[in-house]
Structure 1
Amino acid sequence: MDLNPVLADTAYGEQSPLPSWSYMRDLKEQYDVSTVLRAAGALSLLYLDRSPKELMTLIRRLSQEAVDDFYQRHLQLQKIYQESWEIPKPRVLSYQELLQECQSRPDFAAVLAQIEQEGQESLKNGASYQEITIGNIQKILDFHDRKEALVIIAIAPPYYPSVNCRRLAESGIDIEKLISLYRDYLADTAGCRLNVEEFFMGICDISYCSLEKPLADYEQLLESMAVPRNLYSIDFPKIAAINVPGINLGPWGKDLHQLTERVFEKDMLETIPNFLLYLLENIAAIRLAER
């Protein structure tokens, strides 16, 4: 998974950063020389064009290929050393599928409610969503209680949908005209040249202004989120109903989200605010023609 170009995404001539593990470790509570029974990792993934469903399918396929390769090597080593230990072939499950395998037991509903309550207390005590996600999966696996190798794929909050307003249907705004309006304004009033980036390669609240893909794709993603919805939830139907195109008109700055973050004062206090007023005065010029 780490730095795998298969997981990189491209759109409008731009490519997302390669994914990387922001967290990876075994889950031993103390150090000893025994074999690790469980391990967990958190993969930071930025996408531009694929749907959430496509991404989950791709991650699952890559995971299955990895465990299949491991299993074949295990069988080969058994032949070499003339061993005959039989172990089940490792499986890859989504968090939702793991829950489904537990639901046949009558006491599962009460156990799940207890796990969710403990997650709520953990959040109040300062635990991160990542820690709660890993903890919840471990508790479900304890309840699952089967001696087999499993890979569980889950989503840990926060989640920011990828969005590019060029792809929005019925937005009412001609994006090319808006860009031209801004470019001409900067050239005429500030002597500046506009640099257009199709995507902000980070997280931004503009992600919650509209949805590009079918609503069902996003709602299915929530089902693989291993924290209860009372702790973290996204109202995708409302976002789809808003359907507002968003553009980040940021001032020139440096060291975003760092202690040394700063912005160019003139941009912050003059250029950007004045353009927003100019935009309101000329909003009719960037509207799409009525069909």
Structure 2
Amino acid sequence: MNQSGILNGIEDEIKPFLYKYIQARSLTYTPAERDAERFLMEELGADPYFQAHPEYFGTCEIEGDPFQRRVSYAMVRGQGNDAVVFVHHNDVVDVEDYKLLKEYAFSPDELEKELAGIRESLPEDAGRDLESGEWLFGRGGCDMKGGGAIQFSLLRRYAQLPDFRGNVIVIAVPDEENLSAGMRRAVQLLAELKDRYGFNYKIMFNSEPHQRKNPDVGIISEGSVGKLLPFVYVRGYLSHIGKVYEGLNPVSLLSEIVRRTELNVDFSDVVGNECAPPPTWLYMKDSKKHYDVSMPLSASGCFSVLTLDQSPQSLLNKVKSVCEEAFECVVADMNDSYRRFCETAEPVASELPWKSRVEDFDTLLREAAEAYGDRFREAYERKRKDALARVASGETDLIECNFEIVDFVFEYIDDFSPRVIYGLIPPYYPNVSNVFFEGLEPSVADLYEKLDQFAAENFRQHYEREYFYTGICDLSFTSIRGGADIRKALERSMPLLGEYFDLPIEAIEKISMPCMNIGPWGKDFHKMTERVYKEDLYERTPMLLNRAVELILNGGQPLKGVLNGQGKKDDCNINAG
């Protein structure tokens, strides 16, 4: 495929940049994430444009971050205030699945040779791709430093163009694979840049990889699925196993709640012809620390719900309803069992006392505060601070921490009757899509169709449109609907909202913009056989992203300019605005 104009020879920039980017072993939620930041600052600091304009690149700190991670950014400023934002994450998942090949995971060429030696043990599809030579293997090459290398290579090309119209900003964030602390800080950075330079944000492009069913049909996403992590805590009533009707086993009730929610498509909202996957449970545990002949006092768990249009409160309403139905069902089954038991055995009571009781976390919190006042409030804050410190140090995780806090609140509850408490555990990803925007500018509203036409004309491929990227990504923080209601719902239901996880709603509302994911074709994300298609990486995706910039910032006209060698600018007059 012949490329012309400002993209000529861009493969010779993307490839070495990507190889060095991959070698920055930025494993998620570790101090090593800063290796990517250091690489970027060194690479950009050597570029003539950023040497001339050091104020146009840098890092910003994520306040209170346990590893002192920072968001990296760089921008090319041109004529006017219109701006396009590129974003990608540079953290990668661990390499435990590489086993004896761990040392090669961050060196694509060496890894390819080692994988060839175990070709017969690879999945058939991965083996064929390896033999073809058309795919680049290695941790992070696909998810998603390949997209990042494309973005930075395009930015450096734009830096060489005289009379460039508009502004392009590249944001590289850590922590996407965990809590998106990087993107939540990046939103605040974009709000600060908007104040400083008066930017008019037109659209944000992410470059996460996409998967394909048909090799000749790619995917462009105009939004991203949301994610919520509801928790359920069941407080039972403890008894000896020989006196089962004197107690209420929380495992039974939690199991019924799980049964009614696992893969329940009633939780899957629909937008157009797209449907969110149904929920699945990620964690379930009772409170027993060792074996004895008593029932557990409590049982707890959480499940993942992907959303297209649901708000946190609408989902919580569904959770409450299911918990109430499950509670009533379990009590009815217990009473039926008890009646049958009493037909042949001595009754232990005239009737069982259990009644359905389901409440959100805020109701439980207020009950403890009303009973014990400042004594509880002060103890609660100490407990919460201590628990979060242990999360930051790696001694525990957010799920265990959440239930530890709920357990603590129950120590100040004088009512011993069974109940169900529900709420949310971080993180929360809002659902976003261009379909929710009213009055989109024509350049954005028609962008997918024009890019699909461009792809058909230039490399005879078709790109399908989806309104939600279902892999969960940082585009979730580009806009928000009903921010005040979301804040209220999170405050009532999320014990860990605050210092460790917060949603910058005001900043999101300030920078609110449409979004789109345009990334290369990839396979086996997070697996040892993670790989990205070279033609997409070096040619097609750069062409699509560049065409998108031309359509948004340059009235659809091709960007023109004289480039000197491999991305090094000559003495052309850069309009820094």
TM-score (norm 2): 0.47
Per-residue CA shift, 1:105-124, capped at 9, x if unaligned? 22111111111111222112
Could you tell me how far apart the structure 1 residues matched to 2:384 and 2:297 are?
Answer: 24
Equivalent in the alignment of 2:368 = 102
- Label 1:256 to 1:217 Cα distance change in 2 as closer, same or farther (>3 A): farther
Could you tell me how far apart the structure 1 residues matched to 2:281 and 2:447 are?
Answer: 38
Could you tell me how far apart the structure 2 residues matched to 1:29 and 1:119 are?
Answer: 19
Could you tell me how far apart the structure 1 residues matched to 2:287 and 2:539 are?
Answer: 52
Equivalent in the alignment of 1:113 = 381
Is the 2:312–2:490 contact (alpha carbons within 8 Å) kept by the matching residues of 1? Answer: no
Q: Does 1:44 align with 2:304?
A: yes
Q: Mark the runs of 5 or more structure 1 residues left unpaired by the alignment.
A: 287-291
Q: 2:482 aligns with which of 201, 209, 214?
A: 214
Corresponding residue pairs, total: 285
Q: Report the AA paired with residue 111 of structure 1.
A: A
SS state at 2:358 partner: strand
Q: Which moved more, 1:76-85 or 1:188-197?
A: 76-85
Q: Does 1:93 align with 2:359?
A: yes
Could you tell me how far apart the structure 2 residues matched to 1:183 and 1:62 are?
Answer: 43
Equivalent in the alignment of 1:13 = 273
Equivalent in the alignment of 2:431 = 162
Instruction: Tell me by how many angstroms 1:76 deviates.
Output: 3.2
Per-residue CA shift, 1:129-161, capped at 9, x if unaligned? 112111111111222243111111111111111
- Label 1:172 to 1:133 Cα distance change in 2 as closer, same or farther (>3 A): farther
Instruction: Tell me by how many angstroms 1:202 deviates.
Output: 2.5
Could you tell me how far apart the structure 2 residues matched to 1:54 and 1:220 are?
Answer: 12
Is the 1:119–1:227 contact (alpha carbons within 8 Å) kept by the matching residues of 2? Answer: no
Could you tell me how far apart the structure 1 residues matched to 2:336 and 2:402 are?
Answer: 35
Instruction: Tell me by how many angstroms 1:259 deviates.
Output: 3.3
Q: Report the AA paired with residue 383 of structure 2.
A: I
Q: 1:76 aligns with which of 328, 336, 351?
A: 336
TM-score (norm 1): 0.91
Q: Which has the higher contact order (CA 8 A, sep 6+)?
A: 2
Q: Pairwise mapping of residues 1-291 of structure 1 onto structure 2 (< 5 A)?
A: 1-80=261-340, 81=342, 82=347, 83-84=349-350, 86-104=352-370, 105-106=372-373, 107-126=375-394, 127-169=396-438, 171-172=440-441, 175-211=444-480, 213-223=481-491, 224-283=493-552
Is the 1:92–1:151 contact (alpha carbons within 8 Å) kept by the matching residues of 2? Answer: yes
Percent pairwise identity: 29
SS state at 1:41 partner: strand
SS state at 1:247 partner: strand
Q: Mark the runs of 5 or more structure 2 residues left unpaired by the alignment.
A: 1-260, 557-577
Q: Report the AA paired with residue 2 of structure 1.
A: E
Could you tell me how far apart the structure 1 residues matched to 2:359 and 2:376 are?
Answer: 18
- Label 1:174 to 1:26 Cα distance change in 2 as closer, same or farther (>3 A): farther
Could you tell me how far apart the structure 2 residues matched to 1:248 and 1:228 are?
Answer: 29
Could you tell me how far apart the structure 2 residues matched to 1:206 and 1:255 are?
Answer: 21
Instruction: Tell me by how many angstroms 1:34 deviates.
Output: 1.9
SS state at 2:462 partner: coil
Instruction: Tell me by how many angstroms 1:67 deviates.
Output: 0.5
Flag the structure with larger Rg: 2
Per-residue CA shift, 1:171-204, capped at 9, x if unaligned? 5355541111110111111111112222122310
Could you tell me how far apart the structure 2 residues matched to 1:125 and 1:119 are?
Answer: 10
Instruction: Tell me by how many angstroms 1:256 deviates.
Output: 1.9
Equivalent in the alignment of 1:289 = none
Q: Report the AA paired with residue 17 of structure 1.
A: P
> How large is the Cα RMSD of the aligned pairs?
1.9
Q: Report the AA paired with residue 268 of structure 2.
A: A
SS state at 2:466 partner: coil
Could you tell me how far apart the structure 2 residues matched to 1:201 and 1:282 are?
Answer: 26
Is the 1:90–1:148 contact (alpha carbons within 8 Å) kept by the matching residues of 2? Answer: no
Could you tell me how far apart the structure 1 residues matched to 2:538 and 2:393 are?
Answer: 40
Could you tell me how far apart the structure 2 residues matched to 1:66 and 1:199 are?
Answer: 32
Q: Report the AA paired with residue 54 of structure 1.
A: S
Q: Report the AA paired with residue 202 of structure 1.
A: G
